């Protein structure tokens, strides 16, 4: 386990030194600042706009990092052959993979936390007070983080057996599909045979359901989120990530490297 | 080498000229495009369901954007004296479909969809539709009942439905106590006093500047109506005494029937118009408002 | 019987090839060899022969399609055994956002040293490979030669008993090569086992106890550098001079080569005495008779010539 931590720490260090991350962070903070301005244009909904814009920015930028960096975690090492010297260590391949995941997960957590703090700062600037209702924004940010973890896991899985470009496309595509997964369940097409309906139903449970994490509406209007939802989403993420990473580890352990 | 340096200087100096030219051209292009812009109004994707799918998780943000556009659209049209408000409903429809909890959109829409042209879109039916959607998504928000009742009372003129709406709203937790009172008044039919109470409540509860202004002007016109009714009674007295209608305010003052000039809510003196009836002075801004807002009361 | 440091049995690697991956290219076929403990073993062969493939199979970077391999008595799939093995990859590349010190420290962490121990070792290694002044510079600024040195440093930093070097001399100038040679000799003196691949023959001749020649994916021969060349049939070379006016016998004239004032002719051992007699009869003056010993290079070139077409076709592992 400590070997996993060694890889994780190094991955975190790499992300921190990668200046692209700082640009994105700056951009996100900029977006949040502009939200304050936008709020002036639109009457009566300053906080609604700020929270939606802020959370959207955090989500989008987090997604970009999760997809592109997530795919790069493995592909860059394979392409550049930095992997060879690392695997010459008494380090199992799955430990390496898990360490990489952990490193990026921590990076994303730090990023999301920083951007959320920025959002709260902007909110405080406008409202001059923070109420209990604003805690929902925290929950929304937490859900974004959970979502990003799952995306990273998927990105790593795809990058283990396809080219980086395809991995990016597949991960992005699966994310988009995952947003509408619950629609599959209630597909009201009468031309479908019962078997097809069953198939879609099964598919809707197997595919990652990214709609679970969407609480932006509630956060923007300060409506409550059930505590059970937080618990269940957390468990869902842990479980699904474990499955995805398990498959990735199996593939990676048998893969011929360059 | 010398040629190279000279060329560099020429280029450097010509840059500002070049950009100035670009600037002016852009101005001309903008003007031309604005002229074209009138007819094509700005809502490209009209299907709210499609937008909901397209925007995915960012629906709330998209709703905010549509709402902002709706406000600016309305403001732009009013400034440009354009009476065509066709795009108001699509924009509000989109905003509230994407975020059913966007309360300001419902309130704004109720007012400016229902009021007749040129002030509003003249579509009280759409306003009712919007408010009913708002109530379904936000059943605890009694103010939407208030808005619904107002639409029924002011534009649809269905006083029993207006009363029902207020009554339903009054049952909700946190509802203001006058909801019940107003419900009863509505059921008695239309009256200036009821309308004034209605507008006063709207004025106090609105956070939107445009809604507040709208309410304020309505209140002022109602006041003016009251004043003019009173003035007409006095004019009648004059006519009875003088055997003819008064020709001006001065006559009435000189006759001692009124102590001084009567001022409208904006401070301008009322004048006597044709047929000896009191009316608002042309100098008063209320005069123009009257033509815009005027509706027989 | 002492356990060989490296042992392979019928080790083979095939790659799927072509459209739809239906065809197969053989990168390594039936490699069976042993590297004894404490010896320096050179893996020789032209580009694409299968040397790197062999080493990658040993290090678990790629997986065999047939056969097996053991290092230090354990199957190569047992990654724990890497604790005692050092590996320098071909054309090494490391995280370029780190400095040399950081990279070495990172690798050292996997071997369980304390922070103080790591610091000491890293400094020692940097000095050993001549990079002690460049320790704080980010690797993205390193030249190829410097990267090669870092590679060497990370291979021996944990004092492994078995060191595997894939083309350790590549990218180095003669001074660098000499330094690497010295390090290898030093390791050998310390009793370590070393396997390295190269196509710089003089180095192999000088350093190796034994060499294995790989070409076209197959092992062509194993033995001491001298022994390999000794395997090939030698002949004799007669150098002679013809005094003025003396003509050469026809059979001889055809085969002799003139270099300067002397002629040389190569003959097999069986023909030696007859030719000498003919020359003597013709009045030639014998200058010398020497045994033709083909060098490793000749052996190599012959091998390459034979297998060049095959060799270039075989190296499929994406470079």
Helical residues (DSSP H) of chain C, grouped into ranges: 51-59, 100-109, 115-128, 144-156, 174-189, 201-207, 225-231, 250-255, 272-282, 296-314
pLDDT at B240 over 80: yes
pLDDT at residue number B36: 57
* DSSP output for C207-256: H-SEEEEEETTEEEEEE-HHHHHHHS--EEEEEEE--TTPPPPHHHHHH-
pLDDT at B1 over 90: no
Helical residues (DSSP H) of chain B, grouped into ranges: 2-37, 48-55, 59-79, 88-98, 103-114, 124-137, 142-151, 159-170, 178-187, 192-205, 209-242, 249-254, 285-293
DSSP, res B156 = I
Query: Which residues of chain C neighbour A254 with C-beta distances below 8 Å?
Result: 63
Minimum distance, in Å, between the CA of residue A18 and any CA atom of chain C: 8
pLDDT digits 0-9 by tens, C70-120: 999 999 999 999 999 999 998 888 888 899 999 999 999 999 899 999 999
Q: Which of A48, A137, A141 to mutate to test the interface with B (most CBs of B within 10 A)?
A: A48
Residues of B within an 8 Å Cβ radius of A: 53, 56-61, 63-64, 67-68, 71-72, 99, 101-102, 104, 207-210
Q: Which residue has the tokens 């100035």?
A: B20
Asked if A131 reaches chain C (Cβ–Cβ under 8 Å), the answer is no
pLDDT digits 0-9 by tens, A30-72: 777 777 776 666 555 778 888 888 898 899 989 999 999 999 9
Q: What are phi and psi of C26, to 5 degrees?
A: -95, 120
**Of all helices (H) and strands (E), which one includes residue A156?**
helix A135-159
Minimum distance, in Å, between the CA of residue B32 and any CA atom of chain A: 27
Asked if C142 reaches chain A (Cβ–Cβ under 8 Å), the answer is no
C284 contacts C242 by C-beta, under 8 angstroms: yes
Q: What is the mean pLDDT of residues B265-293?
A: 84
Q: Which of A9, A13, A89, A93 to mutate to test the interface with C (most CBs of C within 10 A)?
A: A89
CA C87 to chain centre: 15
Query: Which residues of chain B neighbour A214 with C-beta distances below 8 Å?
Result: 56-57
CB contact under 8 A, A85 and C79: no
B81 contacts B72 by C-beta, under 8 angstroms: no
pLDDT at residue number A234: 93
Q: Report the mean per-residue pLDDT for chain C.
A: 83
Q: Tokens in use for C216?
A: 């076209």
Minimum distance, in Å, between the CA of residue B70 and any CA atom of chain A: 10
Q: What are phi and psi of C13, to 5 degrees?
A: -140, 120
pLDDT digits 0-9 by tens, A168-180: 999 999 999 898 8
Surface of A (171-190) touching B: CB under 8 A: 176, 179-180
DSSP, res C71 = E
Of all residues in chain B, the one with the smallest CA distance to A179 is B56
CA distances from A193 to A61, A114, A199, A200 (A): 41, 50, 10, 11
Minimum distance, in Å, between the CA of residue A205 and any CA atom of chain C: 33
Q: Which of A90, A95, A163, A254 to mutate to test the interface with C (most CBs of C within 10 A)?
A: A90
pLDDT band at C299 (very low <50, low <70, confident <90, very high): low
**Environment class of C258 (CB within 10 Å of its CB; exposed 0-12, middle 13-18, buried 19+):** exposed
CA A45 to chain centre: 28
Of all residues in chain B, the one with the smallest CA distance to A220 is B60
Sign of CA dihedral B208, B213, B216, B221: negative
Highest-confidence range of A10-19, C14-23, C55-64, C210-219, by mean pLDDT? C55-64
**Of all helices (H) and strands (E), which one includes residue A203?**
helix A194-206
The neighbours of chain B, by the rule of 3 or more Cβ pairs under 8 Å, are: A
pLDDT at C308 over 60: no
CA B1 to chain centre: 69
Query: Which residues of chain B neighbour A44 with C-beta distances below 8 Å?
Result: 104, 207-208
Report how far residue C253's alpha carbon sits from residue B36's, in angstroms, rounded to the nearest whole number.
101
pLDDT at residue number A160: 94
Query: Which residues of chain C neighbour A89 with C-beta distances below 8 Å?
Result: 82, 107, 110-111
pLDDT at C134 over 50: yes
* DSSP output for A46-62: HHHHHHHHHHHHHHHHH
Query: Which residues of chain B neighbour A217 with C-beta distances below 8 Å?
Result: 59-60, 99, 101
CB contact under 8 A, B104 and A44: yes
pLDDT digits 0-9 by tens, B120-161: 888 899 999 999 999 999 999 999 999 999 999 989 989 899
Q: Tokens in use for C313?
A: 């076709």
B10 contacts B41 by C-beta, under 8 angstroms: no
Q: Which residue has the tokens 């439905």?
A: B161
Asked if A127 reaches chain B (Cβ–Cβ under 8 Å), the answer is no
Q: Which of C204, C152, C160 is nearest to C40 (CA)?
A: C204
pLDDT band at C61 (very low <50, low <70, confident <90, very high): very high
CB contact under 8 A, A43 and B209: yes
Q: What is the mean pLDDT of residues C270-299?
A: 78
pLDDT at A128 over 80: no
HSE of B187, CA atoms in CB hemisphere, 13 A: 10
Q: Which residue has the tokens 């059970």?
A: A228
CB contact under 8 A, A10 and C87: no
pLDDT at B37 over 60: no
Q: Is A81 helix (H, G, I), strand (E, B) or coil?
A: coil
C317's CB contacts (< 8 A; 6+ apart) are: A256, A258, C15, C27, C52, C53, C56, C62
Angle in degrees, CA A78, A84, A90, rounded to 5: 125
pLDDT digits 0-9 by tens, B58-89: 899 899 888 888 888 888 777 666 667 888 89
Q: Which residue has the tokens 């700082």?
A: A22
Q: How many residue pairs bridge chain A and chain B with CB atoms within 8 Å of each other? A: 63
Minimum distance, in Å, between the CA of residue A65 and any CA atom of chain C: 18
CB contact under 8 A, A82 and C86: no
Report how far residue B101's alpha carbon sits from residue B63's, in angstroms, rounded to the nearest whole number.
10
Q: Tokens in use for B164?
A: 């029902």
pLDDT at residue number A103: 95
pLDDT band at C151 (very low <50, low <70, confident <90, very high): very high
Percentage of residues of chain B with pLDDT beyond 70 = 91
pLDDT at residue number A41: 64
pLDDT band at C247 (very low <50, low <70, confident <90, very high): low
Minimum distance, in Å, between the CA of residue A4 and any CA atom of chain B: 34
Our answer on whether A and C touch (3+ beta-carbon pairs < 8 Å) is yes
Q: Which residues of A75-84 are buried (b: 16+ CB within 10 A; e: fewer)?
A: bbbbeebbbb
Q: Which of C104, C98, C68 is nearest to C86 (CA)?
A: C104
**Environment class of B5 (CB within 10 Å of its CB; exposed 0-12, middle 13-18, buried 19+):** exposed
Of all residues in chain A, the one with the smallest CA distance to C157 is A89
pLDDT band at C311 (very low <50, low <70, confident <90, very high): very low
pLDDT at C268 over 70: yes
Asked if A121 reaches chain C (Cβ–Cβ under 8 Å), the answer is no
Q: Tokens in use for C48?
A: 């694409």
Report how far residue C226's alpha carbon sits from residue C213's, in angstroms, rounded to the nearest whole number.
13
Surface of A (15-44) touching C: CB under 8 A: 17-18
pLDDT at C314 over 80: no
B198's CB contacts (< 8 A; 6+ apart) are: B150, B153, B154, B182
pLDDT at A17 over 80: yes
pLDDT at B40 over 50: no
The neighbours of chain A, by the rule of 3 or more Cβ pairs under 8 Å, are: B, C
Least confident of B51-55, B137-141, C146-150: B51-55
* DSSP output for B161-214: HHHHHHHHHHTSTT--THHHHHHHHHHT---HHHHHHHHHHHHHH--SHHHHHH
CB contact under 8 A, A258 and C317: yes
Alpha-carbon torsion, ordered A72, A73, A75, A77, to 10 deg: 120
pLDDT at C203 over 90: no
The neighbours of chain C, by the rule of 3 or more Cβ pairs under 8 Å, are: A
Helices B59-79, A46-80: axis angle to 10 degrees equals 130
Our answer on whether A and B touch (3+ beta-carbon pairs < 8 Å) is yes
Report how far residue B38's alpha carbon sits from residue A222's, in angstroms, rounded to the nearest whole number.
39
Sign of CA dihedral B219, B220, B226, B228: negative
**Of all helices (H) and strands (E), which one includes residue C85?**
strand C85-88
Of all residues in chain A, the one with the smallest CA distance to B52 is A180
B62 contacts B30 by C-beta, under 8 angstroms: no
pLDDT at residue number C158: 94
CB contact under 8 A, B64 and A49: yes
pLDDT band at A149 (very low <50, low <70, confident <90, very high): very high
User: Of A45, A176, A211, which is closest to B67 when you measure between CB atoms?
Assistant: A45
Q: Tokens in use for C6?
A: 């490296």
Is pLDDT larger for residue B161 or for residue B274? B161
Q: Which of B64, B72, B107 to mutate to test the interface with A (most CBs of A within 10 A)?
A: B64
Q: Which of B265, B182, B260, B68 is nearest to A38 (CA)?
A: B68
Q: Is C38 helix (H, G, I), strand (E, B) or coil?
A: coil
ipTM of the complex in this document: 0.85
Q: What is the mean pLDDT of residues C313-317?
A: 36
Surface of A (40-79) touching B: CB under 8 A: 41-45, 48-49, 52-53, 56, 59
A160 contacts A252 by C-beta, under 8 angstroms: yes
pLDDT at residue number C11: 92
pLDDT digits 0-9 by tens, A65-97: 999 999 999 998 888 888 999 999 999 999 999
pLDDT band at C290 (very low <50, low <70, confident <90, very high): confident
Q: What is the mean pLDDT of residues C291-296?
A: 67
CA C135 to chain centre: 30
Query: Which residues of chain A neighbour B72 with C-beta distances below 8 Å?
Result: 41
Q: Which residue has the tokens 């991960």?
A: A171
pLDDT digits 0-9 by tens, C210-244: 988 888 888 887 888 766 655 455 678 888 887 77
Which is it for strands C40-44 and C210-215: parallel, antiparallel or unpaired? parallel
Report how far residue B262's alpha carbon sits from residue B253's, in angstroms, rounded to the nearest whole number.
10
Report how far residue B57's alpha carbon sits from residue B276's, in angstroms, rounded to the nearest whole number.
65
pLDDT at residue number B98: 92
Q: Report the mean per-residue pLDDT for chain B.
A: 84
Cross-strand bridge partners of residue C236 = C267, C291
**Environment class of A94 (CB within 10 Å of its CB; exposed 0-12, middle 13-18, buried 19+):** middle
Asked if C22 reaches chain A (Cβ–Cβ under 8 Å), the answer is no
Q: Which residue has the tokens 């033509």?
A: B291
B215's CB contacts (< 8 A; 6+ apart) are: B199, B200, B202, B203, B206
């Amino acid at each position: 386990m400590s070997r996993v931590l060694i890889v994780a720490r190094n991955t975190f260090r790499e992300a921190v030194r990668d200046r692209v991350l700082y640009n994105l962070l700056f951009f996100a903070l900029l977006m949040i600042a502009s939200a304050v301005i936008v709020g002036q244009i639109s009457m009566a909904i300053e906080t609604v706009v700020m929270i939606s814009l802020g959370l959207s920015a955090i989500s989008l930028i987090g997604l970009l990092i999760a997809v592109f960096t997530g795919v790069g975690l493995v592909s860059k090492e394979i392409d550049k052959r930095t992997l060879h010297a690392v695997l010459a260590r008494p380090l199992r391949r799955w430990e390496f993979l898990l360490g990489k995941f952990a490193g990026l997960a921590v990076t994303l957590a730090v990023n999301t936390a920083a951007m959320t703090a920025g959002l709260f700062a902007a909110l405080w600037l406008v409202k001059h007070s923070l109420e209990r209702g604003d805690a929902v924004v925290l929950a929304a940010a937490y859900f974004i983080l959970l979502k990003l973890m799952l995306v990273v896991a998927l990105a790593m899985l795809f990058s283990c057996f396809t080219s980086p470009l395809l991995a990016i496309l597949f991960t992005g595509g699966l994310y988009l599909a995952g947003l509408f997964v619950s629609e599959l369940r209630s597909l009201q097409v009468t031309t479908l045979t019962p078997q097809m309906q069953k198939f879609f139903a099964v598919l809707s449970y197997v595919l990652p359901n990214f709609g679970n994490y969407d609480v932006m509406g509630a956060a923007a209007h300060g409506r409550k989120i059930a505590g059970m939802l937080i618990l269940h989403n957390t468990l869902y993420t842990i479980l699904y990530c474990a499955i995805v990473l398990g498959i990735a580890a199996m593939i990676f352990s048998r893969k011929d490297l360059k | 080498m010398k040629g190279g340096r000279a060329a560099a200087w020429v280029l450097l100096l010509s840059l500002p000229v070049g950009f100035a030219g670009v600037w002016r051209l852009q101005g001309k292009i903008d003007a031309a495009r604005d002229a074209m812009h009138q007819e094509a109004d700005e809502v490209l994707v009209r299907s709210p369901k499609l937008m909901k799918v397209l925007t995915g998780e960012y629906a709330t943000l998209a709703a905010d954007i549509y709402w902002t556009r709706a406000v600016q659209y309305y403001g732009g049209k009013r400034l440009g004296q354009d009476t065509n408000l066709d795009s108001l409903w699509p924009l509000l429809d989109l905003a509230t479909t994407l975020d059913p909890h966007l309360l300001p959109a419902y309130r704004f829409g109720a007012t400016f969809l229902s009021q007749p042209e040129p002030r509003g879109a003249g579509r009280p039916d759409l306003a009712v539709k919007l408010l009913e959607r708002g109530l379904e998504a936000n059943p605890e928000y009694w103010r939407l009942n208030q808005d619904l009742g107002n639409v029924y009372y002011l534009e649809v003129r269905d006083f029993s439905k207006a009363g029902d709406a207020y009554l339903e709203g009054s049952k909700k937790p946190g509802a203001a106590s006058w909801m019940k009172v107003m419900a009863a008044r509505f059921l008695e039919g239309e009256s200036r006093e009821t309308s004034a109470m209605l507008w006063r409540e709207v004025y106090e509860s609105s956070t939107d500047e445009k809604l507040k202004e709208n309410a304020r002007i309505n209140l002022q016109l109602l006041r003016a109506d009251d004043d003019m009714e009173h003035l007409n009674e006095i004019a009648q007295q004059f006519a009875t005494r003088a055997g003819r209608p008064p020709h001006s305010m001065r006559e009435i003052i000189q006759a001692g029937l009124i102590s001084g000039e009567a001022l409208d809510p904006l401070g301008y003196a009322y004048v006597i118009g044709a047929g000896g009836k009191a009316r608002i002075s042309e100098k008063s801004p209320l005069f123009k408002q009257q033509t815009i807002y005027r509706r027989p009361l | 019987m002492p356990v060989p440091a490296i042992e392979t049995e019928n080790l083979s690697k095939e790659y799927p090839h072509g459209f739809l991956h239906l065809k197969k290219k053989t990168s390594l076929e039936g490699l069976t060899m042993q590297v004894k403990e404490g010896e320096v073993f050179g893996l020789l062969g032209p580009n694409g022969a299968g040397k790197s493939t062999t080493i990658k199979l040993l290090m678990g970077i790629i997986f065999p399609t047939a056969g097996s391999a053991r290092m230090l008595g354990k199957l190569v799939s047992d990654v724990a055994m890497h604790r005692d093995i050092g590996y320098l990859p071909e054309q090494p590349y490391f995280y370029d956002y780190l400095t040399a010190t950081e990279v070495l420290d990172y690798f050292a962490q996997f071997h369980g040293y304390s922070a103080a121990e790591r610091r000491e070792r890293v400094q020692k290694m940097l000095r050993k490979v001549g990079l002690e002044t460049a320790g704080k510079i980010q690797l993205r600024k390193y030249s190829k030669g410097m990267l090669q040195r870092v590679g060497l440093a990370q291979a021996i930093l944990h004092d492994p008993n078995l060191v595997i070097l894939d083309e350790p001399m590549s990218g180095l100038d003669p001074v660098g090569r000499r330094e690497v040679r010295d390090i290898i000799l030093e390791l050998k003196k310390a009793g370590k086992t070393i396997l390295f691949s190269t196509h710089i023959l003089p180095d192999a001749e000088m350093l190796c106890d034994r060499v294995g020649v790989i070409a076209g994916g197959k092992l062509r021969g194993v033995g001491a550098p001298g022994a390999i060349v000794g395997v090939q049939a030698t002949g004799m070379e007669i150098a002679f001079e013809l005094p003025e006016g003396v003509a050469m016998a026809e059979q001889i004239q055809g085969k002799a080569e003139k270099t300067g004032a002397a002629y040389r002719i190569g003959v097999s051992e069986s023909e030696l005495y007859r030719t000498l007699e003919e020359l003597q009869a013709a009045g030639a003056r014998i200058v010398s008779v020497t045994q033709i010993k083909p060098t490793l290079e000749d052996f190599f070139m012959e091998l390459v010539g034979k297998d060049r077409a095959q060799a270039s076709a075989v190296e499929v592992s994406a470079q």
